[in-house]
Structure 1
Amino acid sequence: MKKGDLLVEAHGLGRSFGSKRILDGVSLALRAGEVTGFVGANGAGKTTAISLMLGLLRGEGQTRFLGRPLHAFGAPGTVVGAVLGGVAGHPRHRLRAHLRMVAAGSAVPDRRVDELLEIVGLTGAAQLRLPELSLGMAQRAGIAQALLGDPPVLILDEPANGLDPHALRWLREFLRAQAGLGRAVLVSSHLLGEMQQLADRVVVLTRGRVVAQAPMAEIVERVAGRRAVNLECPELPVLARVVAEQGGQLTPTGEHTGLVTGLDRVRIGTLAVDAGLPLYWLHEERPSLEDFYLAIAEEEFTIS
């Protein structure tokens, strides 16, 4: 697989529960060497979409892995690995024994289990029973289980839920490393700040519909366009006219304070100096991915 190769295509995914439309015409693509962030509020439809992709739910649309439906593969675990909430198994099973049992079902040798335990940093926890695993350990164990068949596609549904900062950092670095190995990684999350540090591409879901789908760099650029600059100037009306002449807009927030949109702080400072206007305070606010999400959740536009 070369970076950028199309590994997964989902088209027109849809699902209704009674008269309620849960998912409506969701389409997305996953490419080798990329982490795709699947973001949206809880209840937006992320888990339903992933379940449809994996064939765990019946519904509308189709998903092709490596150009074929998942059921066409004799060993789907060698095509896609999925983590849908840590690792599940008999409460008396120890971690290594559990993974060996799962591996045997896919004709994966025991040595692969020990290799993955080391990769995810759980060698020392191999003899713990499954209920004894912490939340972070359980997520790592789930990832190890998903990777048993060495699949080119890795799908994780809300893997960051409940993790502490150290576990979040490990997860982010691990998933980036997996993409570096050529895997296509899909990560669903409502933690938008985390996606800003992790994903190459973002698919935003709102009320069961994709409302934005773009490379992270494009999202960041769009976010930058929404930045605002707070300032304090004793001659606010004069500065407002200068700013307007350059395509910006100054909205007063107090007698001598205002908020400027459309221009960055460097441009505003330069304009004030050229016009001989004193500035007592100048601070630029850069909106986050969360701000972007909240904005488009209301506007519901699509980035092609």
Structure 2
Amino acid sequence: MLQAIGLTSARHRGLPPAVDDLTFEAGPGCVTALLGPPGSGKTSALRLMLELEPGRGITYFRGRPLHRVAQPAREVGVLLGDVPGHPARTARGQLRMLCAAAGVAASRADDLLDAVGLVELGDQRIGTLSLGMDRRLALASALLADPHTLILDEPTEGLGAREAGWLHGMLRSHADQGGTVLYTTRDPKEAARLAGRVVTIEAGRLVADQGVADFSRTRLRPRVAVRSPHAARLAAIVSREARAARRSVEVVTEASSSRLSVYGSSCAEIGDAAFRHGLPVHQLADEVGDTASASGPRGDGRGADAGIGATGAEPEAAADSSEPSAHPVATSGGAALPPPIRRRPARGPLRPVRYELRRLFGVRTTTLIVAVSLVASAVLSVLLARDGRTPLPHVLAAWPSLLPLPPAALGAGLLGALSFGDEFRYPTLAAGRGTVPRRMGMLLAKLAVSAGVALLLALLVVLVSTESLRLVYGGDLARVPSNAVSLAVSWSGLTVGCAWAGLLAAGIFRVTAAGVAAVLAVPVLMVPLIQAVPKAPTARSMSGLPGRLRELAWPQWPHEADRWVLALVRVVAQPVGTALMLSLSVLVCAYLFTSLRGRVRW
């Protein structure tokens, strides 16, 4: 059961709200259509239900508002627009990534691909899918966690009759299994064919809340479309004969003077009348028209002018058939206002590490960046070792003095910056919520995965550089330096620090370029500033620091760890290390500040 009570959009610049005190229900085991013309507030109503827009009102999903549901993807499946995924990711990879986000088994992806008929296209890129296949994948994403309620915004827009019929069957099947289905549409005939209940809105307000039988009777009426060069004369004849026979017939002249719409009669009766009076008829066909608005579009897509005399009962008014709302909520006249709707941050995936791994390696971008970094490092190592004057650590790291950072550090920083790309949207529920997850578990997962990738890249660069030197110059250069421990700590800290700097900066500013700029700012801006600070003569030495730290620590670490502690201290004491630590400290504080500010605002 879905209950929407008092939904009201926030006003913008004095304009009337897109949704104004909207109250209705969508029951289980039934497909409910939210019907309205373009601009009537259908999409805004859905976004208010999903707490994607600020406003007032409340929506209960089986008795609980969405922010009280522990696992929203298991309660509500949403289809808003296209698939929120990287166009280079495969359909199967997209669903497997969302499986980790929803906390379901990866095998569920193959089950959904089979259910929506995409098994043969599972390895096809999302960007190459047709509109119909893309809509099938979006529905699979919504059904991934087997939700009870489905909410869809114009799911059949742009689809052909075959794809629309398939989608209708899927929605009916979900409702037949006891689920709740709410979808928006602008086509009254589609609502009459698919839905069991139709909620009609216009200008954000409720017009009618009816069962499909009442909707078809009061808002959809059969008519006869007639085209004749003597339409005015034929209209007068049909009206006169209807009055004589005391039948309720309404004749409406369309925008074209040669076309009529006759309600309450049949093709046979109108054809006989035209034959008796010798009037030619160029078209005579049964149609179904929408009587929701006299000036609105009809079944044939043509507007209607005022009707020509018809006797008998007047056509039934749609507004008079509106049922009273089940949960009236007053918003004026001294009554209490409905509760405010806050725009809340997106929830993080239930299995963040697995999600992040599938997000990172699900596209070829990661492989391409790693490959370019390795090739560039190998070439630079060979060139640096050619003159014999470059120190061996710089040769192995492929770090010439002309570059602010080695290719491995730049590649790690770029991978970190891409972690907060536009792709992060919690499955089916985060469209429009923003791209930055504020959950600590998601942030820790991104930091851990980016650090692991950076360490792997650093190791591969050293191995590739060593092998390249051995291949080109022989085995003389491929030797282990005496201070290998401190060099390893320094090299690992540089790559991991660059990855984290790019990750945090992109997360703060929500732009990948900001992450890359933060990485480049360390050697270009921070290091010169630190080197420009006047240094006082060193009066004291830090010798014996590991021993004093061992005395303070409750568990006693082995003496071999002293070398690692000293190596870490030397790394931090270097200008690049100091600049990197300072940058990371500032970025962490900025990230926490924006997180707290976002929670207070939302």
Confirm or deny a common fold (TM above 0.5): yes
Give 1:292 deviation, angstroms.
2.4
Q: Give per-residue Cα distances to partners, 1:144-190, cap 9 Å, x unaligned.
A: 11111111110111111221222112112221222112211111122
Is 1:220 paired with 2:216?
Answer: yes
Find the counterpart in structure 1 of residue 288 from structure 2: 287
Task: Report matched runs for 1:102-121 at 5 Å.
Answer: 102-121=98-117
Aligned equivalents of 2:26, 2:109: Cα separation in 1 = 27
Contact 1:13 1:62 (C-alpha < 8 Å) held by counterparts: yes
Q: Give per-residue Cα distances to partners, 1:49-104, cap 9 Å, x unaligned.
A: 00000111111111000011111111011111000013111233211111111111
Question: Gaps (5+ residues) in structure 1?
Answer: 1-6, 273-277
Task: Report matched runs for 1:1-304 at 5 Å.
Answer: 7-15=1-9, 16-20=11-15, 21-223=17-219, 227=223, 243-244=242-243, 246-248=246-248, 263-265=264-266, 285-288=286-289, 291-295=290-294, 301=319, 303-304=322-323
Contact 1:32 1:184 (C-alpha < 8 Å) held by counterparts: yes
Going from structure 1 to structure 2, the CA distance change for 1:162 and 1:266 (only over 3 Å counts) comes to: closer
Question: Gaps (5+ residues) in structure 2?
Answer: 254-258, 298-316, 324-602
Contact 2:291 2:318 (C-alpha < 8 Å) held by counterparts: no
Aligned equivalents of 1:174, 1:297: Cα separation in 2 = 30
The structure with the greater share of residues assigned to helix is 2
Q: TM-score, normalised by structure 2?
A: 0.43
Going from structure 1 to structure 2, the CA distance change for 1:201 and 1:295 (only over 3 Å counts) comes to: farther
Aligned equivalents of 1:215, 1:116: Cα separation in 2 = 32
Aligned equivalents of 2:249, 2:125: Cα separation in 1 = 61
Letter in 1 for 2:23: S
Structure with more contact order per residue of length (Cα contacts < 8 Å, sep ≥ 6): 1
Give 1:194 deviation, angstroms.
2.5
Q: Give per-residue Cα distances to partners, 1:216-257, cap 9 Å, x unaligned.
A: 11111124667469799x99999866633635357698xxxx
Contact 1:249 1:260 (C-alpha < 8 Å) held by counterparts: no
Deviates more, 1:71-80 or 1:197-206: 197-206
Identity %: 33
Letter in 2 for 1:126: G
Contact 2:221 2:291 (C-alpha < 8 Å) held by counterparts: no
The structure with the greater share of residues assigned to strand is 1
Aligned equivalents of 1:239, 1:283: Cα separation in 2 = 14
Q: TM-score, normalised by structure 1?
A: 0.81
Residues paired across the two proteins, number: 288
Secondary structure, counterpart of 1:182 in structure 2: coil
Letter in 2 for 1:196: A
Q: Give per-residue Cα distances to partners, 1:200-222, cap 9 Å, x unaligned.
A: 11111211112122111111112
Going from structure 1 to structure 2, the CA distance change for 1:237 and 1:214 (only over 3 Å counts) comes to: closer
